[in-house]
Amino acid sequence: MILSLPKLLRTAAWLALIIAFPGAAVQGTENISPLGRAPDWPALERFQGTMTQSEFTSALQNVYCTRGVGEVIQVEENLARFLIDREEQKWFTLRFAPDEKSRKRVGRRWKRAAYLPRARKGRELAGLKIALDPGHIGGKWAQMEERWFQVGDSKPIQEGDLTLRVAKLIAPKLRKLGASVSLVRPKTAPVTKKRPADLTETAKEILLRAGVAQPREDFAGPADPEKEQSIRWQDELLFYRNSEIRERARIVNTETKPDVVLCLHFNAESWEDPRNPTLVDRNHLHLLINGSYLPAELEFDDVRFEMLQRLLSRTHEEEFPLAEKAALALARRTQLPPYEYTTENVAKMGSTGYVFARNLIATRLYRCPVIYFEPYVMNSDEVFWRVQEGDYEGIRSVNGIDRPSIFREYADGVVEGLVDYYREAR
């Protein structure tokens, strides 16, 4: 589940950015998002002469900056200029390749399917390194991260526990197909060593910049309408949605170095009171890939740099066709209709109806193709009962309909999507 947009979105645009897009804020004099890292602009030198002007422009217009770039990126005939420092008016210059034939080749850390040797049936994933990222933390952290609800005396639904269960079903299937597999989060505990109380300085700064000069220390629970203006709520948000994901990115980028990351989530619609949640009829599926940065997001130096690094690495060329295959396979398994976004921070990609580009901290920071799965509305009547039934073999009648375990259906859909893609593309 990705966050629905809280009330502050309508009142404080700057804080809204942080909430809707947990990378945003400023620290010190640098224009860096909260807990973000200063950009390493010289690292873009290796992309000199590797892309034509038309390739670059097309990636900007169709994938990464579908709502414009503001004034931070300037494209000329033979070169593009990226703003490094607004005050000093420092710019990075990237020279384009004059044509496709003269493009310089650039090494990448992840393997493109097209460069893998063909594989026999049943070993379609041989030689691939796949990281599974079970969304959220779960366990005793589920209530803090607002990924918890309970209907009456039934078993509470905790997204972080569900996603870990799916990851543990997917991992052995991928290994059998030849992949080496790691879990970015192997249990229902945070990966980051930071805790909410360690992040108070940043939380106070975020609130100050949003115009809350004397914030409350605490809030009265998930239904408190002014919780977002309290230090504890901001501390916790920075912990579970920012520090935690940044530490996962560090593991992915410096330790496991996979060829693809699969972020596993369950979607939900607003359930209001977690102890008396609203159950809905709607159930749907969508997948996210990186892109569709808002001009306001690109104002942050680190975000702009990370977007450009991703664009120039040509990650999208692998990510998008893989996402389409994965979406079709999961749609086949689940029979779910596509989700329709009503917000402006996404762009629909391709023709399946299931794939959208969005700038999430995980899809931006993991330096390889990332597919972000959002099947099932956890608080739909149907999914609620299927989760209550737990994991099982074969078919059972759940709430009057014969169904496989929801966890196995999810896992099978993901695995089939990967097999479909790599069978054709390698």
Positions touching Zn ion (CB under 5 A) are 1, 135, 265
- Pairing between β-strand 157-158 and β-strand 148-149 as defined by DSSP bridges: antiparallel
Structure tokens at 359: 């700038």
Quickly count: other Cβ atoms within 10 Å of residue 201's Cβ. Answer: 10
Give whichever of 265 and 358 is closer to Zn ion, judged by the CB atom. 265
Give whichever of 312 and 330 is closer to Zn ion, judged by the CB atom. 330
Report the nearest approach of Zn ion to the CB of residue 148 (Å): 12
Quickly count: other Cβ atoms within 10 Å of residue 340's Cβ. Answer: 10
Q: Print the SS3 string covering 330-390.
A: HHHHHCCCECCCCCCCEEECCCCCCEEEECCHHHHHCCCCEEEEEECECCEHHHHHHHHHC
Report the nearest approach of Zn ion to the CB of residue 162 (Å): 9
Give whichever of 44 and 183 is closer to Zn ion, judged by the CB atom. 183
Give whichever of 212 and 378 is closer to Zn ion, judged by the CB atom. 378
Give whichever of 229 and 359 is closer to Zn ion, judged by the CB atom. 359
Helix (H) or strand (E) holding 396: strand 395-398
Give whichever of 215 and 277 is closer to Zn ion, judged by the CB atom. 277
Output DSSP code: residue 230. B
Report the nearest approach of Zn ion to the CB of residue 417 (Å): 19
Report the nearest approach of Zn ion to the CB of residue 280 (Å): 17
What lies within 8 Å, CB to CB, of 22 at 6+ separation is 237, 241, 242, 245, 360, 361
Quickly count: other Cβ atoms within 10 Å of residue 257's Cβ. Answer: 15
- Pairing between β-strand 355-358 and β-strand 346-348 as defined by DSSP bridges: antiparallel
Report the nearest approach of Zn ion to the CB of residue 266 (Å): 6
Distance CA 185, CA 167 (A): 10
> For the chain, first and last CA: distance in Å?
32
Dihedral angle sign, alpha carbons of residues 420, 422, 425, 426? negative
Give whichever of 3 and 401 is closer to Zn ion, judged by the CB atom. 3
Report the nearest approach of Zn ion to the CB of residue 374 (Å): 7
Report the nearest approach of Zn ion to the CB of residue 245 (Å): 11
Report the nearest approach of Zn ion to the CB of residue 136 (Å): 6
What beta strand segments (E) does 207-345 contain? 260-264, 285-289
Report the nearest approach of Zn ion to the CB of residue 250 (Å): 20
Q: Print the SS3 string covering 279-294.
A: CECCCCEEEEECCCCC
What lies within 8 Å, CB to CB, of 134 at 6+ separation is 160, 163, 164, 166, 167, 183, 184, 185, 264
Distances (CA, A) of 240 to 56, 105, 234: 34, 39, 10
Quickly count: other Cβ atoms within 10 Å of residue 98's Cβ. Answer: 12
200 near 276, Cβ under 8 Å?
Answer: no
Report the nearest approach of Zn ion to the CB of residue 263 (Å): 8
Give whichever of 73 and 166 is closer to Zn ion, judged by the CB atom. 166
Give whichever of 145 and 420 is closer to Zn ion, judged by the CB atom. 145
Give whichever of 1 and 32 is closer to Zn ion, judged by the CB atom. 1
Distance CA 276, CA 261 (A): 35
